Amino acid sequence: MFEKDAQGDHLHPDTLAIRAGHQRTHEQEHSEPIFPTSSFVYESAAEAAAKFSGESPGNVYSRFTNPSVQTFEARLAAMEGAEACVATSSGMAAIMSTVLGLLEAGDEIVASRSLFGSTVSLFAKYFGKFGVVTHFVELSDLESWKAAMTSRTKLLFAETPSNPLSEIADIRALADIAHDHGAWLAIDNCFCTPALLRPIEHGADLVIHSATKYLDGQGRAIGGAVAGRADLVREVHGVVRTCGPSMSPFNAWIFTKGLETLGLRMRAHCDNALALAQWLEAHPGVERVHYSGLTSHPQHALAARQQSGFGAVLGVEVKGGREGAWSVIDATQLLSITGNLGDLKTTITHPATTTHGRLSDEQRDTAGITEGLIRIAVGLEHLEDIKRDLSRGLDAL
């Protein structure tokens, strides 16, 4: 849908973000409409029967499909370069529906250790109960991925860059490992979005989104999506329409409008984040900054090759351990002290006692979550105001 213009030339993702997916109705509306309806009506009993059986295409019930949701799905698919996309009620619902749709008891997942906390619980605790076993490995250690593969491995799963230390997954290498074993690779593209990274171009089979983060970008709604190969997305959609974690039409409309400015916002987030990272790296109160945009980052070259920007989440180790970190956080007046990210508003959090607080000391050590580590998800306030807010605590260390 609109991936090529009338001359057959490929359209830029920034253009697709504004144009793809909208099927104009007979009202000739210019902006994308919302269809807040639970069901759809038919001209005749015969038409109803054909729609219900799937013999003729069209909407039946909004748990199955809804035009506002389809606009969002088609737009995101076009931006990711995916054959198909299904929207879900949250990012977690996207991951859950993927595993329910594609795996069965006895199958195995190999996943990065550096995953969103709820994703770790979903795999280890909930899917473990149903006989799907997950092996967790080091994100950037390809040998440990290979060593974890068995004849039962069906799915490889990673986030890149990782949260909060900005480790980078080599997507092409992971895709090769997956495909050599007849498995699929799914990449959670929450941190980069298709504005900076299109995992399918690097060999991934599926891309997972928490639309809650940058796709909306303004902290207004919870949603998710799975994009990728049509045959795989069809199975995931089967789960969504049967089990019910469908996206609401209203939220789909918010995310569709969010996508329109995604490229602009992500470039602005990246510019602010890089400038802030460079400033922090030179600050005497800071021991280390983890950000793949810095040349000091061990995987800077891979990030530069794979992504068109470095994202906006910084891991900042300050002097003075937990006390130092908390004093910097508590001295802020502008930044929001919250675990959320992907917002215009800059957020600041202490991972060791919040997002990673439930890990054991040993697990935190292996994950590199030190007591002095602060995570900053850089927003779009003016850079000088963000710096001044952080200086208050940093200068006192």
Binding site for ligand PLP (CB under 6 A): 90-92, 116, 119, 159, 188, 190, 210, 212-213, 222, 224
Closest CB to ligand PLP among residues 70, 90: 90
Any idea of the CA torsion for 302, 165, 214, 78, to the nearest 10 degrees?
Answer: 30
Closest CB to ligand PLP among residues 247, 374: 247
Closest CB to ligand PLP among residues 324, 351: 351
Closest CB to ligand PLP among residues 222, 331: 222
Shortest reach from residue 91's CB to ligand PLP, in Å: 2
Which residue's C-beta sits nearest to ligand PLP?
A: 91
Shortest reach from residue 114's CB to ligand PLP, in Å: 10
Shortest reach from residue 269's CB to ligand PLP, in Å: 14
Shortest reach from residue 116's CB to ligand PLP, in Å: 4
Shortest reach from residue 279's CB to ligand PLP, in Å: 25
Shortest reach from residue 311's CB to ligand PLP, in Å: 11
Closest CB to ligand PLP among residues 13, 224: 224
Closest CB to ligand PLP among residues 189, 389: 189
Task: Tell whether the torsion through CA atoms of 309, 314, 317 and 318 is positive or negative.
Answer: positive
Shortest reach from residue 319's CB to ligand PLP, in Å: 28
Closest CB to ligand PLP among residues 299, 318: 299
